[in-house]
Structure 1
Amino acid sequence: MRPRIRKTTWPRPALILTDTPIPRCPDCRGEGGHNHDYGDPFTGEYAGTEWEPCPCWNENRRWTLLPLPRRTPPGEYSDEPPF
């Protein structure tokens, strides 16, 4: 595991500790996976793109370190505590 601290906005703003892909992975070259284009089986036309994660990384491995207050409109203050 290669932990990194990141800021996330979903499902709520927070600082999280997350796993990152291996930078020198020969399969994904540190990107964490591959995009695969696929076509409609009947027409053969482009139908979308799927993401296939690399085994060197688990995108679901993350822990919330510090929930952050939600953003408020300008001029207003939040009374929501960050903990």
Structure 2
Amino acid sequence: MIRLRIKVIDWPRRALALTDAPRPDCRDCDGVGGIPHDYGHPETGEYEGTEWETCHCWTEWHMVLLPLPRRPRWLRRRHSGRDPWGTGGYSDEPPF
């Protein structure tokens, strides 16, 4: 059974896509869609990474419904160089 949902994908271009969702009551993956397997270095046993095994309750397919337009250059995020958490020239001393 397929559980459809709408999702924003980023590859190859931003778009709205129809995709499958993992089965929420799956006993193998607990509704995550896969099982992570951590592995370590064979000699030292130090953590090396995680391999992801896709669960049988989920298929990783998607169908593009609507490509999303690119933002105009003037609407893209700009970095002003200011500290976003700064006071902006105002004092934070009492009285506020």
TM-score of the pair, normalised by structure 1: 0.79
Contact 1:4 1:17 in 2 (8 A): yes
Name the residue aligned to 2:84.
none
Over the matched positions of the two proteins, sequence identity in percent amounts to: 59
Judging by fraction of residues, say which structure has more strand. 1
1:15 and 1:9 map into 2 onto residues whose CA distance is 9
Unaligned runs of at least 5 residues, structure 2: 77-96
Aligned residues: 75
The alignment's C-alpha RMSD in Å is 1.6
Unaligned runs of at least 5 residues, structure 1: 77-83
The CA deviation at 1:53 is 1.1
Greater Cα radius of gyration, structure 1 or 2: 2
Q: Higher RCO, 1 or 2 (CA under 8 Å, sep at least 6)?
A: 1
The CA deviation at 1:33 is 0.9
Name the residue aligned to 1:43.
44
TM-score of the pair, normalised by structure 2: 0.70
